[in-house]
Amino acid sequence: MARSTQYIGLNKRALDFLKNNKSKKLCDYQGDTGMFDEPMMYGIYEVEVKFQDCSLSYPDENGKETNVFENTEIKTFAEVTQCAPWSSGPCYFTYLKNILTGEEIGKWEDNEIWDIA
């Protein structure tokens, strides 16, 4: 059986996060090295995330205080290695990590990893 490095990459949750928010890939970077010293290239993404700004409120037409201000924030996420279990070579599973806050998007569950690896 041949040995090789396998890039599994991001799971559906991380890919959906990028797809469902306005995002663009800023660049690639060498996130890891494979078993034959080949570079594992990962992405850095700029993501425009919508959120509700509750700092301001105003009365609606019925006089009830409401705070329905939708705002956006631009966040930068790096694709990083979560784990690399061995299956005829390392299998690189990745997720998205906010480079400023450490927020994690799309971490793989153990059962998902072992179903693939």
Give the residue extent of every domain in the chain. Answer: 6-101
**Residue 108 near residue 91, CB atoms below 8 Å:** no
What is the per-residue pLDDT for 62? 81
DSSP 49-113: EEEEE-S--EE-TTS-EE--EEEEEEEEEEEEEEE--BSSSBEEEEEEEETTT--EE-PPPHHHH
DSSP state at residue 37: S
What is the per-residue pLDDT for 67? 64
Q: What angle do CA 23, 95, 16 make, to 5 degrees?
A: 45
The string of pLDDT tens digits covering residues 53-64 is 666 666 777 877
Query: Is the pLDDT assigned to residue 68 strictly greater than 80?
Result: no
What is the per-residue pLDDT for 58? 67
DSSP state at residue 117: -
Q: Residue 2 in 3-state DSSP?
A: coil
Mean pLDDT of the chain: 91
Q: Select the more confidently predicted residue: 49 or 51.
A: 49
The model carries a pTM of 0.84
- The candidate with the shortest Cα–Cα distance to 9, out of 42, 37, 50, is 42
